[in-house]
Amino acid sequence: MSDVVSNPYTAPTADLNAPLNSGKLKQLPRFSAWWVFLLNIITLGIYPLWWLYSRASTLNQIQSRPIALELVYVLVAVLLGSFALGFVAGFSGEEYAVIENSLSIAYWVLYLIVTFTIRNRLHDVFLEEGHNVRTGPILTFFFSSIYLQYKINEAIDTTSSR
């Protein structure tokens, strides 16, 4: 037996003011990937653009290689142009449909460029913080903002469990 008798009725001692995560990672918000999925459905695909903009601006504040926010602005402009031309093409002939399809392809190419740029910057932040969180290119291609938010949450959770 020990000479020290502990009182079982005392409150446990814990440092409640200790940060859950440290460094640059604490600036990225922890938001459920399920909410990203639901907001994507509810907003009919508009929320991922907001997600890309907000994460790009946050990543620009915490790492040295900035992401050009102009790409996100051009992405929004191309999407709006595609919507407008899609509406016009529905009432007119083939001449607007070709332009609208070209804008749709341009939108998806720009979307993938911005998504993979954010993925690369997230990978840099994860390495700087000492995380072994791998972001796969195939899942990034298919699930983009949902998958990247899941990986952000995974990195935050591994930091807080250390």
Low-confidence ranges of the chain (pLDDT < 70): 1-5, 14-22, 160-162
Task: Please tell me the predicted confidence (pLDDT) of residue 159.
Answer: 76
At residue 106, the pLDDT reads 95
Q: Which runs of consecutive H residues, i.e. helices, occur in 25-93?
A: 33-42, 47-62, 69-91
Supply the pTM of this predicted model.
0.80
| Residue 54 vs residues 8, 68, 149: alpha-carbon distances, Å | 48, 12, 12
